[in-house]
Amino acid sequence: MTATVSRLKPAALAPTPDFANLDFANCPVRDLLNHIGGKWSTLLLQALAERPYRFGELRRMVPDISQRMLTQTLRDLQRDGYIHREVFSTKPPSVEYSMTPLGRSLYRPLSEVINWALENHDAVKDARQRFEV
């Protein structure tokens, strides 16, 4: 892995912040990643990147999430501007969630992290197992 990193051109690496002068109490990276880094947020954003979903559909897609946690996570994503909630005046009323332009812009880099996780999950599990020995 080190050999691969050393072969990268410096321009290929993202600029790193000046940590000595970073205000961690007001860090925008921590502020945003705290909300999107949760296990439910990523799954819901991934689903909503495909198409809009109604609440019940999302609930069935993620069967191990409680209704309360689903509601809270959707509310957090809506508050941060990543998703839009639309209420339909049907009987009973129904609600549909969709991705906003801000959510789509977030999903571009997030999808790379998701793909990386899928591709490297076995390697990370092996590393954890070696560490425990």
Residue 15 located in a structural domain: no
Residue 16 located in a structural domain: no
Would you state the pLDDT for residue 98?
Answer: 98
Residue 56 located in a structural domain: yes
Residue 22 located in a structural domain: no
Asked whether the beta carbons of 98 and 86 are under 8 A apart, the reply is yes
Q: What is the pTM of this model?
A: 0.76
Residue 9 located in a structural domain: no
Q: Give the closest residue to 77 by CA, choosing from 96, 59, 56, 99.
A: 99
- For the chain, 133 residues long, the average pLDDT of each consecutive 10-residue run is 39 63 75 83 94 95 93 96 95 94 95 93 96 90
As given in the structure block, the two tokens for residue 85 are: 């909630």
The total of structural domains in the chain comes to: 1
Query: What is the distance between the alpha carbons of residues 69 and 55, in angstroms, rounded to a whole number?
Result: 12
Residue 10 located in a structural domain: no
Residue 5 located in a structural domain: no
Count Cβ neighbours within 10 Å for each residue of 55-66 and write b for 16 or more, e otherwise: beebeeebeebe
Would you state the pLDDT for residue 11?
Answer: 47
Would you state the pLDDT for residue 15?
Answer: 66
CATH of the domain at 84: 1.10.10.10
| Residue 47, Cβ density class (10 Å: 0-12 exposed, 13-18 middle, ≥19 buried) | middle
Question: Residue 117 is part of which domain span?
Answer: 30-132
Residue 73 located in a structural domain: yes
First-residue to last-residue Cα distance in the chain: 21
